[in-house]
Structure 1
Amino acid sequence: MARSEHIDISGAFLRVLRGLLRPLVRTMIARGLTAPVVYSLLKRVYIEVAEESFRLDDKPLTDSRIALLTGVHRKDIRTIRTEGTDETGASRRKSALLATVIGQWMSAPDFTDATGTPIMLPRQVDGGPDFETLVRSVSRDVRPRTVLDELQNAGLVTETPDGLLQLEADAIVGTANAPDKEAFFAANVGDHLAAATENLLAETPPFFERAVFYNQLPPEAVDAIETAARAQAQAMLEDLNRQSSALHRDSKDAPGPRQRYRLGIYFYREDTADADQDEKAQDP
C-alpha cells in the first residue's frame, strides 16, 4: 500500500515538475542548449546535491550511495567527481559584490546627496568620498579597479569628461548586457526556487512566499495593476536597501556568523482563454 501511495505522489509531482520545466526549457532552447547537454549537466547537479544535502552522519557519500540516491551510473559519478566543481559559485559571488557596491552607492550617506540621490565620485581623493572608499567599505578582497572595470563594461557606471564616475539608471532597473542578465536570472530564480523548495519540504514553511493573482481581467485593468505594482515594489526595495546598507555598515566589524538574503518581486501577465474555451477544455 505504501508503495502505491509513493507512486501516486511521484506521478503527481512529475506533473508539477513538468509545468516548472516548461519556461526553463524554452530558455534553454533559445540559448542553443540541446537535451544531451542538459542531461549531462543534470547528472552533475544530481551528484552535487546528493553530496551536499544527503550525507549520513556528515560523512562523504560513496559512489554506490550516490548511485542509489540519484540513479546516475557509478562510472559517470566517478568521472564527474574527479572533474571537480564548476565556477558557478565564483560567478555568483562576483554578482553579489557588484550588487552590494551599487546598493551602498545608492543608499550610504557618504555617497548620496540630501535627497538620497547617488553622487558622482572621483576614483580616489584624499579626505572625501571616492570610488575606492566605496568599494573598500564593501570588501577589501577585490581591487577597486577590478570592480570599476566590471561596472563600466556592464554600462552601469560611466566617466564624465572631468573624471567623475556616475552611476547610471541601468544600475537600478537592470542591465541589458546578456551575461549580467543571465547572472541575475540564475541568482534570482535560483533563490526563489530554493525558498519554495524549503517551504514545500518542511512541515512548517520557513520562508515568506506569497502571491496575488486574478483571471479574466481586461488588459487595461492589468495595466493599472502593473503600474501600481512597479511603483510600490520599487519604493519598498529602495527602502529595504537603505535599511540593509545601514545595518551592513553598523555590523561590519561585529563578530559572529554571517548570512545573506534576497527579496525578489516579479510581475507576470498573459492572455487567458475565453470562458467557453475553458469549459470545453475541462470536458472529458
Structure 2
Amino acid sequence: MEQDSQRFLKVMRGLMRPIVRTLIARGVTAPAFYKLLKSVYVEIAHDAFRIGSEPPTDSRITLLTGVHRRDVRAILSQGGERWESARAKSAMFATVLGQWMARADYRDDTGAPRPLPRTAESGPSFEALVRAINTDIRPRTVLDELLRQGLVTEDAEGRLRISDTARRGPASDADRLVFFAANVGDHIAAASENLMAEDPPFFERAVFYNRLPSEAVDRIEDRARTLSQDLLETLNAESLSQRAADTTPEDGTERYRLGIYFYREADTPAQEPTRDDGGDKN
C-alpha cells in the first residue's frame, strides 16, 4: 500500500504542475492552498467514505486523511464554502445559448441560430426562450449579462444575435473560473473512476504526437476545432431532443458532460532542477 501511494505521488507531481502554475498566477500562496486542501480532504472523507448510511467519526476521518481531529471538528462545524450558486448562474447562460443554437424553431433554414427580437406576441423571441428554461429569472437580467459579456449582440433593428465569441465559452472571469472548475473537475472525476475501477466505466481517449512542424500542428488544430464544434453542437441538439421527449420529469436524475480540449507546446525536454536553479538533486 505504501509503495502504491509513493508511486501515485510521483504521478501527482506532474499533474499538479499546471495547477500550481495557475495558483501562483492567481496569487494563491502555498499556505492558503494547504488550508483549502486540508478542508477538502475532510469533506471528501466525510461524504464519500461512509459505512452504510452513517457518516464517519472524527477519529476515522483523522485516520483516513492524517488531519488532526481538532481540525476535523473545526472544518466540519464551519461547513464547506459552496459554489453551486455561481455554477447555476453560469449554467443558465450556457443553457440559453445552447438551446438557442439547438432548438429547431430558433434556427433558420441553414441551421444557424436565427436573430431574435427581445419580445414577440407570438413566435420565437429571447423572452420566450428564457421563460421556457426558467420562469424564476427575468429575461432582461439574462440578456443584460449576455450583452455585457459580448456573448450576444444587438443590431440597429433591435434583433439579438449570438456572437462569434459565444462559441469560445464564457467571457467574464467569474464564469471562466466556474467552467474551469466544472470542466477540469469532471475530467479528473472520470479519469479517477477509470483509474480505480477494474473495468473503466467512462470513455477517455487522446491522440498525441510529437516532433511535428508548427505549421502541421496549426492545420491539425484547425481541423480539430471544426470536428469538435460539430460534435458538441450535434450532441447538444440530440440531448435537447431527448429531454423534450421525456414525459416523466421525475426520471431526469442524471447529468453528463462531454469535454474536448486541444493542447500544444514546444517539443523540448523538461529542464531538470539544478542547485543553481534553486532545486535539489537526489
TM-score by length of 2: 0.89
User: Could you report, residue by residue, the CA deviation over 1:80-116 in whole angstroms, capped at 9, with x for unpaired residues?
Assistant: 2222231312222222222111110011012111111
Q: 1:252 to 1:118 in 2, by over 3 A?
A: farther
Task: Measure, in 2, the Cα distance between the counterparts of 1:89 and 1:229.
Answer: 32
1:280 corresponds to: none
Displacement after TM superposition at 1:251 (Å): 2.0
SS of the residue corresponding to residue 119 of structure 2 reads coil
Alignment of 1:233 with 2:255, yes or no, is: no
Q: 1:59 to 1:153 in 2, by over 3 A?
A: farther
Match of 2:81 among 60, 83, 86: 86
Q: 1:253 to 1:103 in 2, by over 3 A?
A: farther
Match of 2:150 among 138, 152, 155: 155
For 1:98-247, list aligned pairs within 5 A: 98-247=93-242
SS of the residue corresponding to residue 145 of structure 2 reads helix
SS of the residue corresponding to residue 251 of structure 2 reads coil
Q: Is the 8 A contact 2:186 2:257 kept in 1?
A: yes
SS of the residue corresponding to residue 161 of structure 2 reads strand
Task: Measure, in 1, the Cα distance between the counterparts of 2:197 and 2:12.
Answer: 18
Task: Measure, in 1, the Cα distance between the counterparts of 2:158 and 2:211.
Answer: 54
Displacement after TM superposition at 1:140 (Å): 2.9
Query: Which letter maps to 2:263?
Result: Y
SS of the residue corresponding to residue 199 of structure 1 reads helix
1:281 corresponds to: none
Q: State which drifts further: 237-246 or 137-146.
A: 137-146
Displacement after TM superposition at 1:253 (Å): 5.1
Displacement after TM superposition at 1:252 (Å): 6.3
Alignment of 1:265 with 2:260, yes or no, is: yes
Task: Measure, in 1, the Cα distance between the counterparts of 2:248 and 2:142.
Answer: 22
User: Could you report, residue by residue, the CA deviation over 1:42-73 in whole angstroms, capped at 9, with x for unpaired residues?
Assistant: 11111111122111111122222211111112
Task: Measure, in 2, the Cα distance between the counterparts of 1:39 and 1:252.
Answer: 47
* RMSD (Å) for aligned C-alpha atoms: 2.0
Q: Is the 8 A contact 1:51 1:61 kept in 2?
A: yes
- Stretches of structure 2 that go unaligned for 5 or more consecutive residues are 272-282
The number of equivalent residue pairs is 271
SS of the residue corresponding to residue 125 of structure 1 reads coil
Task: Measure, in 1, the Cα distance between the counterparts of 2:157 and 2:118.
Answer: 11
Alignment of 1:23 with 2:14, yes or no, is: no
Q: Is the 8 A contact 2:151 2:171 kept in 1?
A: no
- Stretches of structure 1 that go unaligned for 5 or more consecutive residues are 1-5, 278-284
Q: 1:180 to 1:130 in 2, by over 3 A?
A: same
Q: 1:252 to 1:153 in 2, by over 3 A?
A: farther
Q: Is the 8 A contact 1:154 1:180 kept in 2?
A: no
